[in-house]
Structure 1
């Protein structure tokens, strides 16, 4: 595997394997597990991060922050030339966790997390249905 002139080797793959199991491991813990030095592990992770081979971010549990109502919404768009634009607008909503373009009966599939049923209703009627091109939800 090559990414922007960075060739992964067996040590890189072992680092990735450990981080997939536990992304909170420290450089020191990884170094000890792989019988390597802290500096080597730190440099490898920095290089893989710089080459976008590995990325780090926090994952939020929606239930723990008050978003207890998940929903899957199918959207039809007219005219069809607006599908991508509508999908991009919807992807910016903070409640949205997933957006996909579809074939078949609907044009866009959206997964959302809302605080409650009233929040979901407002999201659909006050925001989604008012986007130019949204024909139905």
Structure 2
């Protein structure tokens, strides 16, 4: 059964849009933007958190400012597709800080990894020393990002 989109009114959508743009806004600042009192904004935000619509808050860091100059997408194709192999692979990926996102995919590759590394040598070490030696991995293909012209955007509301 497919889950339907939650019922959100215009104020909820405007609140979510404002928080996606800047999660540091105070209840008073949000209230001024939305034409509500800070207590009304606080109650709405709390409800959206309790319903799981607001999942968490975080800061977006600049990878280049941190010396992470190489961003790559790495496709991983498994040789064996058993549940234990998948669990071991997911556990391995969970230990790698340079892998910032991981998805199970349809198509030729089984997994897509988003990686940030200091340089090409660090990406090569990840692939050659970590991924390829894993016994259930058959193939790894990397695609290095040349330029990101659109940053991770807010979700459409």
Q: What TM-score bracket applies, with the shorter chain setting the length?
A: 0.7 to 0.9
- 1:37 aligned residue: 37
Cα drift, residue 8 of structure 1? 4.1
| TM-score of the superposed pair, with normalisation by structure 2 | 0.70
- 1:81 aligned residue: 82
Cα drift, residue 42 of structure 1? 1.4
Q: Which has the higher contact order (CA 8 A, sep 6+)?
A: 2
> Could you give the per-residue CA deviations for residues 36-63 of structure 1, whole angstroms, max 9, x where no partner exists?
2111111221221122111322222221
Is residue 101 of structure 2 the alignment partner of residue 98 of structure 1?
yes
- 2:24 aligned residue: 24
- Give the direction of change, closer, same or farther, for the CA distance of 1:135–1:98 in structure 2 (3 Å limit): same
Q: Which runs of 5 or more structure 1 residues have no equivalent in the other structure?
A: none
Cα drift, residue 103 of structure 1? 3.7
Write the mapping of 1:101-120 to structure 2, written as runs, cut at 5 A. Answer: 101-120=104-123
> Could you give the per-residue CA deviations for residues 42-85 of structure 1, whole angstroms, max 9, x where no partner exists?
12212211221113222222212111111222222111225633
Q: Which runs of 5 or more structure 2 residues have no equivalent in the other structure?
A: 141-157
Give the Cα separation in 1 of the matches to 2:102 and 2:82. 17
Q: Which moved more, 1:36-45 or 1:14-23?
A: 14-23
Paired positions, count: 133
Structure holding more helix per residue: 1
